Amino acid sequence: MENVSPAAHLELLDNEFLGGDFLEFNGLANSGTLVATLKEVTAGEQLRSRHYRRTNANSGWSDELRAVLPSGGATWGQFCLARGDGEPAFSAPEVLFLTSVAQSIGAGLRSTVLLECATSVKPSGRIPGLVLLQDDGSVDSISEQALEWLGELPEEGMELPTVIYAVARRARLLAETNQPGLPARARLRLPSQQWLVVHGTRLRSSSQGHASTAVILEPARHTDMAPLTLQACELTPRERQIVEMLLRGVFVPEMARTLWLSPYTVRDHIKAIYGKLGVRSRPEMTAKLFHEHYGATH
């Protein structure tokens, strides 16, 4: 985020994970609305919004606009804009324009991810790094390997990149609520074109210490990128089920019985899957999704 203080940045992350507020990205994506403003969703009463009261008002922001960038049934990006005090609220023409281009931008992002997943996931030989964070976001300790990884990420004006705080806060929320949900995990592309996986876990506190969160950074493997590849190729939920069975070595008759489909329908799904992935056989699909040296040997 640009022109946002570190404290406000962390407050916005916390608010997004807590849920139950106006104009959350997850809610926006699920609603089918691509672009919305805080003034619009609160009917002009922004003080009804928790994050407006806690963060926006103290940061000198009047109105806020958020957008999601979908393509193929998934969201590939999002952004937030804010207007300062004394500036006009976001207008209907501005919302309409951003709505008109959101899907095109999403399609471009999806195509980029698909291309990069196919070409940039290569063994690096580097080992994972570890960051230990206190609940206030301060760094308790950090490994040399983590410093090397973090040194490759763009400067954001904070001690650590946003993704580290986001993963740590997600891990903390999952541990405190003890409820199922999306894992504390993220994938990101480095300027070197290599993909990095960041995941977090909550550590138990000692009798005399404070609880902390461990965040691990490690190079992505094809197994990490396969779900993203399947999503980028616009496979349907049924097709993803069949891909999972294909990878486990399940034969067509058993798939048909399990899924309550005819063998002919299963074969039609497999044909569609191969077409979307650009492969011609089960071994070729497995190689494309999981073999680390596929690009070097084919």
What is 198-251 written as a DSSP string?
EEEEEEPPPSSS--EEEEEEEE--HHHHHHHHHHHTT--HHHHHHHHHHHTT--
Q: Looking at the structure, tell me whether residues 134 and 112 fall in a common domain.
A: no
pLDDT tens, position by position, 128-167: 999 999 988 899 999 999 999 999 998 888 889 999 999 9
Q: Rounded to an integer, what distance in angstroms lies between the CA atom of residue 189 and that of residue 198?
A: 11
Q: How many Cβ atoms are within 10 Å of 66's Cβ, its own excluded?
A: 23
Domain count, the chain: 3
b/e code 85-115 from CB counts within 10 Å (16+ = b): eeeebbeeeebeebeeebeebbeebbeebbe
Quote the domain boundaries for residue 109.
Answer: 6-119
What pLDDT is attached to residue 43?
A: 94
Provide mean pLDDT across the span 255-260. 93
What pLDDT is attached to residue 102?
A: 96
Provide mean pLDDT across the span 43-65. 91
Task: CATH number of the domain at 250, please.
Answer: 1.10.10.10
Provide mean pLDDT across the span 108-133. 76
Q: Looking at the structure, tell me whether residues 10 and 113 fall in a common domain.
A: yes
Q: Give the DSSP H or E segment for 129.
A: strand 129-133
pLDDT at 39 over 50: yes
Q: Edge-to-edge, what's the strand order for the sheet holding 61-71?
A: 35-37, 61-71, 74-84
Q: Full-prediction pTM beyond 0.75?
A: no
Q: Looking at the structure, tell me whether residues 161 and 113 fall in a common domain.
A: no
What pLDDT is attached to residue 189?
A: 85
Q: Rounded to an integer, what distance in angstroms lies between the CA atom of residue 136 and that of residue 139?
A: 9
Q: Which two tokens stand for residue 257?
A: 């019985």
pLDDT at 266 over 70: yes
Contacts of 81 (CB under 8 A, 6+ apart): 64, 65, 66, 90
What pLDDT is attached to residue 232?
A: 80
% of the chain beyond a pLDDT of 70? 91
Q: Which of 2-6, 76-80, 187-191 has the highest mean predicted lDDT (pLDDT)?
A: 76-80
Q: Looking at the structure, tell me whether residues 72 and 139 fall in a common domain.
A: no
Q: Looking at the structure, tell me whether residues 108 and 174 fall in a common domain.
A: no
pLDDT at 169 over 50: yes
Q: Looking at the structure, tell me whether residues 135 and 114 fall in a common domain.
A: no
Provide mean pLDDT across the span 176-203. 85
